[in-house]
Structure 1
Amino acid sequence: MMKNKAVVLGTNYYIGLSIVRNLGRNDIHVVTMDYEPSKYGVSRYVEEALLVPHYEKEEAALVQYMVDFAKEQEAKPVLFLSSDPYVHFLDRNFDLLKEFYLFPMEQKGLLSDLMDKETLLKFTEEYNIPTPEIIDIHEENFYERVLDEIGFPCLIKPRDSAEFVRKFREKAFRIRNEEELKAKLALLGDSDDVFIQRIIPGPESNCYSADCYYGPDSALMGFVTTEKIRQWPNNFGASTYAKQKWIPELIPLVHKLFQGIQYRGFAEVELKRDEFTNVVYLIEINVRFINFTEMLCALGFNTPLVYYRDSIGEPIPKKYVNYDTNVHWKYKYEDISAIFGYLNSGQMSLMRILVDYKFRKVSSTWAWDDPGPGLSFTSHAIKKAGAKLLKKIKRK
């Protein structure tokens, strides 16, 4: 077993579970840190499951806990991030955590800048990468500019996706007219953390991702490109069903940015093709591990292992999936809601959904070598559905 332990921050979602499994399968000692017990239970690949202070409410206590833990180890642990809030936590405490933990990124603040939908523009503009037009809500003649420059429908999008999703269960608000725009902005109050963005026209299948790993000297060590099939909430949510598909133009488009800023580590770029102009727009960048982690690993692009080896200074295996595999990924729990949504809106037919489901699928949660988390989450989902049903019955 490797002497450097892997510390995974955040395991109350299947992304953290994917990191744990694909490290543990490679004989790496995995430690999980979270502020509450996970609804996925504890994977058989977890050696130590630690309950720790909350990353925001008790930030200083969590940092001290992590420092004390690292001091007790034989070698520096490798730090893994499973969600956006932990990326911000890392950047706020970058220097101290870098002293006691291993992780590839050397530039303080860069991860948060790439995640921020507005500051990201300074990078995309420098490297001439198309991005959807945006307008700040505090601009002069705001409503006139929205009508003239962006038009309706449009999106209200957050700078901090994680907090917005946690509050509203949506990644963005789709706005059909000026009346709706005013109503939603009134709901948001004095928030400075949202902006207006043009909707890039096109179906779900025009939504792509480019998943890349950059090693020392920003060398491109691996990539996979994907195409979205369904998402929840429909049209502007997170993927629930997607497939690996080789889309050659994506890698050169994002590569010039990552090499230019000397990026190191894993990143996923979300993009969308305009169905009328055929232009591919960069929508956002994720700088932590992602929904598709289990699928990437199934394709031989084991991003947690690559990240681990890079962090401890070992050679990184290269993996370029520049061909179609027909491998699909699904998050069944939310995909059920997505399917009903598309059927009700008429965007998809039942036949189309059945045809899409015939391919080899990688599950977000279930694994035959580690069934406990799948069973634990299923039990949680059944209890949650039962509680909702009981609440509806009581209302009647």
Structure 2
Amino acid sequence: MTLEATALVLDGHNSTALAILRNLGRRGISVATLDAAPSDYGISRYAKDSVLLPEAGETALLESLLALSENKPVLFPTTPVYVDFVARNFSVLKAHFRFPAPSAESLAAGAMTDLFRDLMPPQRDLYGSKDDLVLEIATSLGFPCLIKARDGKKEVPIQYIASAAAFSRALEKIEAEDFYVERYVPGEASDNYAASLYYGGAGELSGFVTTQVLRQYPEFVGEATYVKQKWIPELIGLVHPRLKAAGFRGIFHATFKRDEFSRKVYITGAEACFSPETELFTHLGFETPYLYYLDSTGEAVPKIFFQSDTNCHFRDGWRDMAGVASYLKTGHMGLMKMIADYKFRKIPATWAWDDMGPGLNKLGAEAACGARNLYDKLPFNK
């Protein structure tokens, strides 16, 4: 199959991919998607082609990509899993596609983690007997703590472990070599932040924006569902010097959390990846997909730095509804606080008046999922 589009988006199953499609499409750039299965978002009007993988697995994905590379489109991996895929197959993909990363090391999650390891919460491997591990974690990291999957299993959710007993139970259900334990940084949802930066040719910083989380789901370990753009210079100071020294190029996204007691800010994630809030950034004028496209095609990358507050908020509607319900159930955030936070200008993750199809498709998918869950709970199905 010959792909006519000049940009190819890997995986349309998330709002980040949708934001990339819309930003490029509104700029008049022809975009296609490659998916393993039909997306809940359906097909955006800005997608010129939507290709489904004939088979599952990394080999099939690589073969399908190479079959679509005749015109050497700009390649957009939309999630950390796909960024790691590009890193593992860097030399082959770099010869057939355009993207700004100069090396596999500048994309690999392990390399990003190594660059900022001393700024991250303390971690421990899960080697040894269960009793020894419980004692070691209790005396070194303490409880609560987090169990996280290693790079090869990023699709596995983070586990919030409240006690030694819960940790012991969790160890019985996992393969130790695939996971590690991390100290839980205490704090509220609003103690979580993020920063996205873009580095153009010669590793020159071309722009940045910082955000503060207002709600997340699941409550202690989930992704942000309601976010506001807020200028937090401390975050840029933590990551920029190291990225500059490393000669980093392309898109970079980091998450942070401030310890509510010590007030120290930890880096909780660092990846060469687009932010889940990309739709917010493009709305504000920090068009990271367009910058990435220009950089990949050898064009000049404009500079834009957000060093003030815009009071603009981003809401991932479906997940935020679940987050609101969770906060009300636990009592960790009151209704009046949520109402007060809700009065500002908001950018939705899915809905757009010029591209209504994905929003309507997602509505239908969520309604069908809710109906299935309700049906499964009916007495005659037990």
Class of the TM-score when normalised by the shorter of the 2 chains? over 0.9
State the Cα distance separating 1:22 from its structure 2 match: 0.3
Contact 2:251–2:272, Cα closer than 8 Å, also in 1: yes
Structure 2 match to 1:18: 19
Normalising to structure 1: TM-score of the pair?
A: 0.91
Structure 1 match to 2:145: 154
Contact 1:84–1:162, Cα closer than 8 Å, also in 2: no
Question: How many aligned positions are there?
Answer: 376
Matches within 5 A, 1:267-306: 267-306=252-291
State the Cα distance separating 1:142 from its structure 2 match: 3.2
Structure 2 match to 1:321: 306
Structure 1 match to 2:170: 184
State the Cα distance separating 1:139 from its structure 2 match: 5.8
Matches within 5 A, 1:1-396: 5-54=6-55, 57-71=56-70, 73=71, 76-112=72-108, 115-116=109-110, 120-125=112-117, 129-138=118-127, 141-160=132-151, 163-165=154-156, 170=157, 172-188=158-174, 190-393=175-378, 394-395=380-381
State the Cα distance separating 1:147 from its structure 2 match: 1.8
In structure 2, do the counterparts of structure 1 residues 61 and 187 end up closer, same or farther at CA, with 3 Å as the change threshold? closer
* Structure 2 counterpart of 1:65, one-letter code: S
Normalising to structure 2: TM-score of the pair?
A: 0.94
* Structure 2 counterpart of 1:61, one-letter code: A
Deviations 1:144-179 (A, max 9, x none): 3212221111111222386443xxxx3x21222222
RMSD: 1.8
d(CA) in 1 for partners of 2:144, 2:60: 45
Unaligned runs of 5+ in 2: none
The range that moved more, 58-67 or 264-273, is: 58-67
Contact 1:272–1:280, Cα closer than 8 Å, also in 2: yes
d(CA) in 1 for partners of 2:113, 2:24: 34
Contact 2:193–2:255, Cα closer than 8 Å, also in 1: yes
In structure 2, do the counterparts of structure 1 residues 89 and 235 end up closer, same or farther at CA, with 3 Å as the change threshold? same
Runs of 4+ in 1 over 6 A off after TM superposition: none
Contact 1:226–1:246, Cα closer than 8 Å, also in 2: yes
The DSSP-based 3-state class of the residue aligned with 1:335 is: helix
Unaligned runs of 5+ in 1: none
